[in-house]
A and B are shown apart, each in its own frame.
Chain A
């Protein structure tokens, strides 16, 4: 690892100057984003610095309990994020339960698959393997799940009269929402397909870039990246599937009614 260059605070300070471009755009076009920019920049630095310290400490412990705790926090945060991104969301705590439950399922599945079946580190719960993989899987599944639920609720709202017409003719909720479901599944899976097609040509995936910069042999870094891509693709598909059908069930009831009354529109909340 002779090529690994340690970054000094001065190096990062130099990079931070690039934020001035954002500030310049905001000021020149009177976008009023300066305050938000300052806050989000500070937030990003503090969050990343903290997680760096937390990870260093947790990696040193190699304790299943601490690993599990951090994993639980990551999953809850991702679940909240998946739901809060939606224009129209299904009211009540069940929708957060759906988001968090789906991410818990796919995060557990993909991480266990990776550490138990493929990488097999010793011990298998080594946080240095478990947490980064979980993070990658969560981040990407979250995108698919949020997009799927947003598509589902948006389409159900827009096509409600067609859906209800089918229900009135004696269709079940799964039949009446069949086309909506297919469109939702497709939309949810599109980003990961695009990412797979573009990776290596248009983009060098973040994880691989990080590894290469940290001195890992590019071929080795690529192997890990391919593994991660498969994990992400599988877990996103699974997550989109669970979230879509869970969403259909929450948007309807046992008497095969469309419960458009359960949708609430996102309140206008300014960023930061």
Chain B
């Protein structure tokens, strides 16, 4: 399946996906360069989340994913995921407070607090019991967690899905900043306006039945 508007940039591309095969979908090949945002579109159940998870190597998927020419299986999975970061639509938590997972020993506290502030959050939330945080607060904190160690690639699964307009705007601003800072972002979103505002490239995933007619040569 060819993504509309995608052109090959040869070896310059930061993240290159080749013949990645996810059950129910034709194999996918595309590239996302430095400072580019690719939006993945398609109705629910077409495999957008599974695509992001496969790129992060969280699920088994035949095919290749390269980062700066290095295939994911050439390095330990934990190292790959430090560079290629998946942020789930429903983020998981451990510990009593967000501090446990946002500020593990050795993390850059100043950067984390800056990101927390950028998303319009009070840093006191870090020490409040996770059960007392709203869904939107947890979603934004998860976004901070995903970005705080500066991964090369961000795989964002509906990062603003549960946010109000003002919070979503701040989150979008932060994502845009990540792109401007040279990161590659793959964004799954159901908001056409957001896709319009953030993405340079688009990948349309069709329902499996239709997709059969659009296989790559």
What is the interface of chain A, defined by CB distance below 8 A to chain B? 159-172, 179, 253-258
Find out whether the CB atom of B92 lies under 8 angstroms from the CB atom of A165. yes
Find out whether the CB atom of B88 lies under 8 angstroms from the CB atom of A165. yes
Q: How far is the CB of A188 from chain B (nearest CB, A)?
A: 21
Q: How far is the CA of A254 from the CA of B78 in the complex (A)?
A: 11
Known contacts A168-B87, A256-B77; is A159 also within 8 Å of B92 by CB? yes
Apart from the given pairs A170-B149, A253-B60, 10 other A-B contacts in the complex at a CB distance below 8 Å: A160-B92, A165-B93, A165-B145, A167-B78, A168-B58, A170-B78, A171-B78, A255-B57, A255-B77, A256-B81
Known contacts A170-B82, A172-B78, A256-B78; is A161 also within 8 Å of B58 by CB? no
Find out whether the CB atom of B76 lies under 8 angstroms from the CB atom of A256. yes
Whether, in the assembled complex, B79 has its beta carbon less than 8 Å from a beta carbon of chain A, the answer is yes
Known contacts A165-B101, A168-B85; is A257 also within 8 Å of B93 by CB? no
Within B33-88, the residues touching A (CB, 8 Å) are 56-60, 73, 76-79, 81-82, 85-88
Q: How far is the CB of A235 from chain B (nearest CB, A)?
A: 32
Q: How far is the CA of A165 from the CA of B94 in the complex (A)?
A: 9
Q: How far is the CB of A256 from chain B (nearest CB, A)?
A: 4
Q: How far is the CA of A258 from the CA of B82 in the complex (A)?
A: 17
Find out whether the CB atom of B92 lies under 8 angstroms from the CB atom of A164. yes
Find out whether the CB atom of B93 lies under 8 angstroms from the CB atom of A167. no
Residues of chain B contacted by A172 (CB below 8 angstroms): 78
Q: How far is the CB of B209 from chain A (nearest CB, A)?
A: 24
Residue of A nearest to B90 (CB): A161
Q: How far is the CB of A175 from chain B (nearest CB, A)?
A: 8
Residue of B nearest to A254 (CB): B77
Find out whether the CB atom of A164 lies under 8 angstroms from the CB atom of B76. no
Q: How far is the CA of A162 from the CA of B138 in the complex (A)?
A: 13
Residues of chain A contacted by B87 (CB below 8 angstroms): 168
Residue of B nearest to A255 (CB): B77
Q: How far is the CA of A204 from the CA of B57 in the complex (A)?
A: 54
Residue of B nearest to A170 (CB): B82
Residues of chain A contacted by B146 (CB below 8 angstroms): 168-169
Residue of B nearest to A162 (CB): B92
Q: How far is the CB of B54 from chain A (nearest CB, A)?
A: 11
Q: How far is the CA of A7 from the CA of B92 in the complex (A)?
A: 61
Q: Contact check: which of B58, B76, B82, B149 meets A257 at CB < 8 Å?
A: B58
Residue of A nearest to B82 (CB): A170
Find out whether the CB atom of A169 lies under 8 angstroms from the CB atom of B145. yes
Known contacts A167-B58, A168-B56, A179-B94; is A161 also within 8 Å of B88 by CB? yes
Q: How far is the CB of A75 from chain B (nearest CB, A)?
A: 34
Find out whether the CB atom of A166 lies under 8 angstroms from the CB atom of B94. yes
Residues of chain B contacted by A168 (CB below 8 angstroms): 56, 58, 81, 85-88, 146
Residues of chain A contacted by B94 (CB below 8 angstroms): 159, 162, 165-166, 179
